[in-house]
Amino acid sequence: MKQTSTFICQQCGYQSASFLGKCPECGEWNSLVETLVGDRPAVTLGQQNLNIDLFKLSDVKSQAIKRISTGFSEFDRVLGGGVVPGSIVLISGDPGIGKSTLLLQCAMQIAKGQLGNLAVRSVGKKTSKSSSSLSGSTELTAEVLRAEGPNAQNPNNPEHVVLYVTGEESSQQVKIRADRLGTVLGDLYILPETGVETIIAAAQKLSPTLLIIDSIQTVVSQKLSGSAGSVGQLRECSQILQRFAKGAKTGVFIVGHVTKEGSIAGPKVLEHLVDAVLNLEGDDMHAFRLLRSSKNRFGSTFEVGVFEMQDKGLIQVDNPSQIFLEQRISARAGSVVTSTLAGGRPILAEIQALCASTIFPVPTRRVGGLDFSRMQIVIASLSKVSKLALGNLDIYLNVAGGLKIVEPAADLPAALAVVSAAVDKSVKEGICAFGEVGLLGELRPVANLKVRVEEAKRLGFNDFVSPDRFKTLEEATSYAIHGE
């Protein structure tokens, strides 16, 4: 069957032989995507093969999923217990946030297998030629990183073979980062390649447990004429990788770029194709990283993994609450501890406030780690019900440690921190606050109250200022600040 490519509008279906910036049919801009089409013979209803095997859902036998550990319990938690064979996972994040470092560390852990703590040998080059390819004969050149040990006689142990495809770096650059991480290396193959046909040929030759693509924006298919990163190339290459993952039962990790707005670059179909969408986020000025899941077909989307960026890579944080509070100065005005949820995981954090008089007619409002619009509402409501003169004060709010809190449970601790800073009096010792503040000063309940309380008690907080105890902002402020 002869295949050609045409440009199809994703909004109205208009077809064009060449790319057009604006669709002549519906008027949408940049909606024409290069798509492969083929000459298919017309088939009438009577000519169709109706011998279709149908199965009742009740007759399908359940099978236990054997997951593969990434070597990080925090990473496994977000994935739902580990990597599912045949699944395809998309990981996105800002440049320099640690996506490649995290995946290289996972690749080393999986490739290490049962080697244990063994000495690492210097890098050697292996060059082999393969004639099997989706499009014809290709030459496969891979940089092989392997440790001495029991598996040295069987380098292609199917349980511990990992193929790391880098389209943005050379093999030497990856080796430099691997040396910095200082982890024992096993059957880890490095392939600097951008052609998806060559990548699939390499994967078919090695039959790896895990295939890592860094990144999907650099991968191109010879079937399309578009440049790397275009909508058509992203969709076609993702579909090819998806078919390989399902057929070979190989776990595939794909690194995706983000736009300046923070969303994943490329068509939305990229997120629909994959089984899980993970986002690695954090602050450039702080070392902590949060791994969140926005889609997961094999687990919950409420789990969050916490990591700390160090000289030797990402280190998982088993007790993030204690980390975020270890530098806290108790009995200091403007400091309030809150119990927030990162996904479904409770984390204790410190909200700080600073109030200073201003000589300017419009006071300054600066917010870090909290939603600015919500904090504006909280300050306005607080000024109304507490009778405090906040109009002549510059107010600065921040979550210590670089943590970002987007849930409304941070309203009450932020309000208490502002009042404490404004009157220059610290809150009662041992208080943990959380709750949503309404426009009229009422306190509204938040989700997962029991989980928040248990985490706070574990770290020694036994006095709680929450909506189930106080109904209004005035009552909560009076108790937390003045002890009444």
Residue 386 assigned to a binding site? no
**CA–CA gap between residue 146 and residue 122 (Å, rounded):** 9
- The pLDDT value recorded for residue 47 is 54
Answer yes or no: is pLDDT of 126 > 70.
Answer: no
**CA–CA gap between residue 472 and residue 158 (Å, rounded):** 62
3-state secondary structure of 113: coil
Residue 435 assigned to a binding site? no
Residue 329 assigned to a binding site? no
Instruction: List, for residues 376-420, the tens digit of each pLDDT value.
Output: 999 999 988 887 888 889 999 999 888 889 899 999 999 999 999
Q: Which of 103-117, 250-264, 288-302, 403-417 has the lowest mean pLDDT?
A: 103-117
Q: Are 365 and 375 in contact (CB under 8 A)?
A: yes
- The pLDDT value recorded for residue 404 is 86
Instruction: List, for residues 207-228, the tens digit of each pLDDT value.
Output: 999 999 998 999 999 888 778 8
Higher pLDDT, 227 or 158: 227
- The pLDDT value recorded for residue 50 is 60
3-state secondary structure of 129: strand
* pLDDT (average), residues 131-148: 42
pTM, 2 dp: 0.74
Residue 100 assigned to a binding site? yes
Q: What's the 3-state SS for 46-87? A: HHCCCCCCCCCHHHCCCCCCCCECCCCHHHHHHHCCCECCCC
Q: Beta-carbon neighbour count of residue 230 at 10 Å?
A: 19
Residue 97 assigned to a binding site? yes
Residue 56 assigned to a binding site? no
**CA–CA gap between residue 295 and residue 277 (Å, rounded):** 5
